[in-house]
């Protein structure tokens, strides 16, 4: 069982822990691999704990001490890894300088002539707080002067041939690889092996070479520089031909040519539409029976003309796509409203009999939407419309005859589409009056229900406030006069209840005024409705009073019956 912790890990205690662990390399150094001896490690940790106990006179828990050391070690590696981007973290951390011995944790010092102090160059130094990478980079940058530094020269590779001219460390010579061997980066995936350091060399295959950043920049153009000592693997690459690109090239070329031809056709169409003579000639060919197409079937080329696209479609025989189909549907809806106005004008002008207006309206819907034969009456209605839309009607009928099966248009639900307010009023004024009257009745009914609900709610509130006031009065009568605090609380409660009761009563009085007005208006509307639906007096055969007398079996004289009939009929609402 571990000892009871009677201390806190203060800054001096942690610094002493770091120094004590730093003296015992088997606790933190991975090379040589002798630190995996569990008994030896336990003995070393107990020595560290005893040293701290003697120095600070506290009971150190071994488990807690190991956990604190692991925390310090993880923080150090985290700060070292992020030193390039956040160097200020190392400057702020108190234990950074004391933990610098951890730089040699992953270095095998059993080979070569490196001293332990020389390995500190591989990690951030305490002078400028910035990592300095040497090792491989130093060996590569210190190449012989007779090595040619030309941008066109290939990279250097290691070779073990004893007769080469240029010798490297440990008798290693440099040779030039073949010209068809490109460079590929290796080491990014983590399988780059270990760097070669001074005094010793790791045996590698012939196709591997270690170069520094200047040599790397001679052969490849990288957007992001790699660290010094990047391992490069030279291996041949088969340049395969992109078959898909070669097969798709004529297809893309064909698409480009079609797009160019379409643009040329559009430009020609726009230029032709600006010529009024060509438009007039087309109208003359479309409607040969019209005597004066220049005046009767003219088209306005203004920007606000809403049927120009429809005329363009018929003139240039454009295909019926999704965009043109939507345009035809919208144009048909607009022309339907104009046709309704013309039909009503013709109906009023010729004083047609009742029911003819419905036939005129159905003729357009049957031809455009229901795919029935064209009725000659449609031409008579179009003549009553504005001459500027005659060409639009002709274009619409041409599209219907040509693409009738492909359009599949649905007839709108509204009968009088695109009709102005004056025409709507002329069509059925009595219907409009009845509609407004019943809308008013419906509105008053809703208002009546709302006020009735509010009256019921206010009545409930008044009842509750009245009960509160009465109960408070009773409590005040029961409390002693000497209990001033209780009497003050009850008096305040009584005052608030009375104020709420007065406010609610005023609201109820105002609501009652509106309620009476609404009741009077509703009664007037009901009387008017009963008067309109009352029977005609001429159809009354026997008065109600006379019927009652006859049912009772009483005999009445002719004069009395006549007087009773006259008095009863005169009192009936007309």
Domain ranges of the chain: 11-113, 133-237, 258-425, 430-532, 539-571
Beta strands 231-234 and 183-185, pairing class: antiparallel
Contact status, residue 77 vs residue 89, Cβ threshold 8 Å: no
CA–CA gap between residue 526 and residue 524 (Å, rounded):
5
Q: How far is CA 284 from the centre of its chain?
A: 53
* Measured torsion, CA atoms of residues 41, 47, 53, 58, in degrees rounded to the nearest 10: 20
Cα 477 off chain centre by:
68
Residue 93 and residue 79 in contact, taking contact as beta carbons nearer than 8 Å? yes
The reported pLDDT for the residue numbered 570 is 41
Q: What is the DSSP letter of 225?
A: P
Instruction: Point out the residues of the chain with pLDDT beneath 50.
Output: 1-5, 112-212, 222-223, 287-304, 417-418, 535-574
For every residue of 263-295, which 3-state class applies, written as one string? HHHHHHHHHHHCCHHHHHHHHHHHCCCCCCHHH
Structure-block tokens of residue 511: 């609501």
pLDDT at residue 481 in the model: 84
Whether residue 410 contacts residue 365, with contact meaning beta carbons closer than 8 Å, is answered with no
- pLDDT at 479 (0 to 100): 84
Q: Determine phi and psi for 210, rounding to 5 degrees.
A: -110, 120
How far apart CA 126 and CA 128 sit, in angstroms, is 6
Close Cβ partners of 360 (under 8 Å, ≥ 6 residues apart): 343, 346, 347, 377, 381
pLDDT at 231: 53
Under 8 Å CB-to-CB from 48, ≥6 apart: which residues?
Answer: 17, 20, 21, 24, 27, 65
Q: Give the model's pLDDT for residue 110.
A: 63
129-168 burial, b at 16+ Cβ within 10 Å, e below that, comes to eebeebbbbebbeeeeeeeeeeeeebbbbbbeeeeeeeeb
For residue 398, the tally of other CB atoms under 10 A from its CB is 16
Question: In whole angstroms, what is the distance from residue 18 CA to residue 68 CA?
Answer: 10
Q: CA-CA distance, 427 to 252, in Å (whole number)?
A: 60
Q: What is the rounded CA–CA span in Å between residue 447 and residue 453?
A: 10
**What is the pLDDT, as a whole number, of residue 191?**
41
Write down the pTM of the prediction: 0.27
């Amino acid at each position: 069982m571990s000892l009871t912790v009677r201390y806190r890990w203060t800054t001096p205690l942690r610094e002493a822990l770091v120094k004590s662990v730093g003296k015992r390399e088997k606790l933190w150094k991975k090379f040589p691999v002798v630190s995996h001896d569990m008994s030896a490690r336990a003995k070393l940790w107990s020595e560290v704990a005893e040293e701290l106990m003697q120095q600070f006179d506290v009971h150190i828990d071994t488990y807690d001490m190991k956990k604190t050391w692991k925390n310090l070690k993880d923080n150090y590696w985290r700060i070292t890894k992020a030193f390039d981007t956040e160097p200020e973290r190392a400057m702020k951390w108190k234990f950074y300088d004391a933990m610098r011995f951890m730089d040699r944790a992953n270095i095998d010092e059993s080979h070569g002539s490196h001293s332990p102090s020389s390995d500190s160059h591989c990690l951030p130094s305490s002078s400028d707080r910035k990592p300095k990478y040497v090792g491989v980079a130093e060996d590569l940058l210190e190449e012989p002067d007779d090595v040619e530094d030309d941008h066109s020269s290939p990279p250097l590779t290691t070779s073990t041939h004893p007769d080469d001219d240029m010798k490297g460390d440990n008798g290693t010579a440099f040779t030039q690889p073949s010209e068809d061997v490109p460079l590929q980066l290796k080491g990014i995936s983590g399988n780059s092996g270990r760097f070669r350091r001074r005094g010793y060399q790791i045996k590698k295959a012939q196709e591997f070479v270690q170069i520094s950043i200047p040599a790397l920049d001679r052969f490849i153009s990288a957007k992001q520089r790699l660290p010094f000592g990047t391992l490069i693997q030279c291996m041949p690459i088969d340049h395969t031909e992109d078959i898909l690109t070669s097969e798709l090239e004529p297809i893309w070329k064909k698409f480009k040519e079609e797009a160019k031809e379409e643009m040329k056709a559009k430009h020609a169409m726009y230029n032709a539409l600006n010529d009024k003579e060509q438009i007039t000639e087309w109208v003359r060919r479309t409607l040969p029976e019209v005597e004066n197409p220049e005046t009767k079937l003219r088209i306005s080329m203004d920007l606000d003309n809403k049927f120009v696209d429809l005329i363009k479609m018929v003139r240039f025989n454009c295909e019926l796509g999704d965009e043109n189909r939507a345009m035809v549907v919208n144009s048909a809806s607009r022309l339907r409203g104009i046709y309704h106005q013309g039909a009503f004008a013709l109906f009023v002008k010729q004083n047609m009999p009742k029911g003819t207006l419905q036939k005129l309206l159905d003729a357009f819907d049957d031809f455009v939407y229901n795919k029935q034969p064209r009725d000659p009456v449609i031409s008579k209605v179009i003549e009553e419309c504005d001459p500027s839309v005659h060409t639009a009607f002709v274009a619409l009928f041409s599209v219907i005859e040509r693409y009738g099966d492909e359009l599949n248009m649905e007839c709108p639900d509204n009968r009088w589409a695109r009709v102005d307010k004056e025409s709507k009023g002329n069509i059925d004024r009595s219907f409009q009056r009845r509609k407004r009257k019943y809308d008013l009745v419906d509105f008053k009914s809703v208002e009546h229900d709302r006020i009735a609900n509010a009256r019921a709610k206010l009545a409930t509130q008044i009842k509750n406030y009245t009960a509160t006031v009465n109960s408070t009065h009773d409590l005040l009568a029961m409390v002693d006069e000497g209990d001033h605090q209780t009497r003050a609380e009850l008096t305040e409660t009584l005052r608030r209840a009375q104020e709420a009761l007065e406010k609610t009563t005023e609201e109820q009085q105002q609501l009652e005024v509106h309620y009476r007005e609404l009741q009077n208006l509703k009664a007037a509307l009901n009387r008017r409705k009963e008067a309109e639906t009352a029977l005609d007096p001429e159809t009354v055969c026997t008065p109600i009073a006379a019927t009652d007398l006859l049912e009772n079996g009483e005999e009445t004289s002719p004069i009395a019956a006549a007087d009773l009939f006259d008095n009863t009929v005169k009192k009936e609402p007309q």
